[in-house]
Amino acid sequence: MEYEVVIGLEVHVQLNTKTKIFCSCSTEFGAAPNTQVCPICMGQPGVLPVLNKEVVTKAVKAGISLNGEISKYSKFDRKNYFYPDLPKGYQISQFDLPIMKNGYIDITLSSGETKRIRITRIHMEEDAGKLIHGEGEAVSYVDFNRAGVPLLEIVSEPDMRSSEEAYLYLKELRNIMKYIGVSDVNMEEGSLRCDANVSIRPKGETKLGTKVEIKNMNSFSSVRKAIDYEISRQIELKENGGEIVQETRLYDANKNKTFSMRSKEESHDYRYFPEPDLPPIVLSEKEIEEIKNSLPELPDKKRKRFVESYKLTMNEANLLTEERELADYFENCIKISKIEPKKISNWIQSEILAILNEKNISIAEFEKDYINPQNLVELLNFVEDGTISGKIAKQVFEEMLESKKSAKQIIESKGLKQITDNSEIEKWVDEVIKNNPKEVEKYKQGNEKILGFFVGEIMKLSKGKANPKAVNDILRSKLK
């Protein structure tokens, strides 16, 4: 039987506020266990939470950026469950009146087609603490530093139909959160976490199948692999006459398998009720408008603008807008030069991205520690005005990375200036013709392709410095 895959994602984004959501403890990552705690985030009796305004601002930023409706009236609710990392016995979250509803993200599939993935809701909530299971010891430790760190839970509709679509959605979501500066969105450090809900149904069926929730994926590639594994597990089970049970499964990246963790609880199991210690959140049109106006240009808009104004392909625009800093670097180069944007884009994509990869640094670090837009433009201008060839430019670029000298200094000190003096080039041409009589004969018999061989030899003699156009012209006239 043919099956259709249905996927919905629940993504937790840790907000990068300085302090926690309901107290003034620091949210700094990596501190010694239980050093960033107070009676409020430890859940002592008699304390009162106070909402951090920055959390609301950042949630609204996220909500607007994901094209949703911001609630002018929303509230917090208690989600009751018992677990050692949750000192109060309940988590302050949002239930029926979340901060945002009805958003969406448009993703671009590999076919070039755009697909809209709807976002059901975003709610604000507090994070729980962290359990550390002592290795070889029959104990678990608990670190409450993370308890009370603000999170957004972003819930999608079950609109994705493959692991590829889930991956593209997650990546775009991550990019948007990064652009608007509300989170570090680091999957390895846990500031971006994703639970995937996966089900299958016979092709053509409109009712949803039983879903399985997968947790514990801490990289983009794990999300993809876990979903693919789960799809094949479900299909195999169905084909063998089995039934899929609604449950939560954990992904093990080393084994590339999912394992059953617990049967899934329903929302009524949590006994949600309104949080009595916090007033509702009331936002005015004006406040929402102000937050909206503070937002930067988002990736989708930037991509489209890059294609239109700089004549780039969608693929190129995609690459350049993946990081806001990279897009800025590109546009800064354009602003300070007359070089065609396409040429700058080519350089960034072929040379700079390779270096970022090789050195494992960000574009911001590259700009600060290696080559800034001014220096890059200076180098490219030397190619534009014919001082050096494109090939030599790559050599100068390497040298700039190493010595941190400017292109001008390197070209001068190494004597890399392109040679356009015809009498000098003629000497090399004559020498190559004299040394290769057989090839000359072949050329005269009509083998045009052999010209490339001559050019190569001449360039070698000139150490790459002869102007290629002059070489071609002189060579052709001498071989006549």
Q: How far is the CB of 205 from ligand ADP (least distance, A)?
A: 11
Q: How far is the CB of 210 from ligand ADP (least distance, A)?
A: 7
Nearer to ligand ADP among residue 129 and residue 158 (C-beta)? 158
Q: Which does 41 bind (CB under 5 to 8 A by kind): ligand ADP, Zn ion, none?
A: Zn ion
Residues 20-39 that bind Zn ion (CB under 5 A): 23, 25, 38
Q: Which does 38 bind (CB under 5 to 8 A by kind): Zn ion, ligand ADP, none?
A: Zn ion
Residue 128 sits in the site that holds Zn ion (CB under 5 A): no
Nearer to ligand ADP among residue 68 and residue 158 (C-beta)? 158
In a 10 Å sphere around its CB, with 0-12 CB exposed, 13-18 middle and 19+ buried, how is residue 13 labelled?
buried
Q: Which does 25 bind (CB under 5 to 8 A by kind): ligand ADP, Zn ion, none?
A: Zn ion
Q: How far is the CB of 193 from ligand ADP (least distance, A)?
A: 14
| Residues 63/76, Cβ–Cβ less than 8 Å | no
Nearer to Zn ion among residue 11 and residue 92 (C-beta)? 92
Q: Which does 23 bind (CB under 5 to 8 A by kind): ligand ADP, Zn ion, none?
A: Zn ion
Candidates 15, 41, 227, 396: give the one binding Zn ion (CB under 5 A).
Answer: 41
Q: How far is the CB of 61 from ligand ADP (least distance, A)?
A: 22
Rounded Cα distance between 478 and 472, Å, is: 10
Rounded Cα distance between 403 and 398, Å, is: 9
Q: How far is the CB of 106 from Zn ion (least distance, A)?
A: 39
Nearer to Zn ion among residue 76 and residue 179 (C-beta)? 76
Nearer to ligand ADP among residue 157 and residue 164 (C-beta)? 157
CA distance to 111, 162, 416, 480, per residue, from 197 (Å): 25, 12, 59, 72
Nearer to Zn ion among residue 52 and residue 67 (C-beta)? 52
Q: How far is the CB of 207 from ligand ADP (least distance, A)?
A: 9
Q: How far is the CB of 199 from ligand ADP (least distance, A)?
A: 3
Nearer to ligand ADP among residue 207 and residue 255 (C-beta)? 207
Q: Which does 197 bind (CB under 5 to 8 A by kind): ligand ADP, Zn ion, none?
A: ligand ADP
Nearer to Zn ion among residue 25 and residue 55 (C-beta)? 25
Q: How far is the CB of 269 from ligand ADP (least distance, A)?
A: 10
Nearer to ligand ADP among residue 196 and residue 312 (C-beta)? 196
Q: By beta-carbon distance, which residue lies closest to ligand ADP?
A: 8
Which positions lie near ligand ADP, rule CB under 6 A? Answer: 6-10, 155-158, 197-199, 208-209, 211, 264, 267
Q: Which does 10 bind (CB under 5 to 8 A by kind): Zn ion, ligand ADP, none?
A: ligand ADP
Mode of pairing for the β-strands spanning 114-126 and 150-156: antiparallel
Query: Count of alpha carbons within 13 Å of 185, Cβ hemisphere only?
Result: 18
Q: Which does 6 bind (CB under 5 to 8 A by kind): ligand ADP, Zn ion, none?
A: ligand ADP
Q: How far is the CB of 40 from ligand ADP (least distance, A)?
A: 28
Task: List contacts with Zn ion (CB under 5 A).
Answer: 23, 25, 38, 40-41
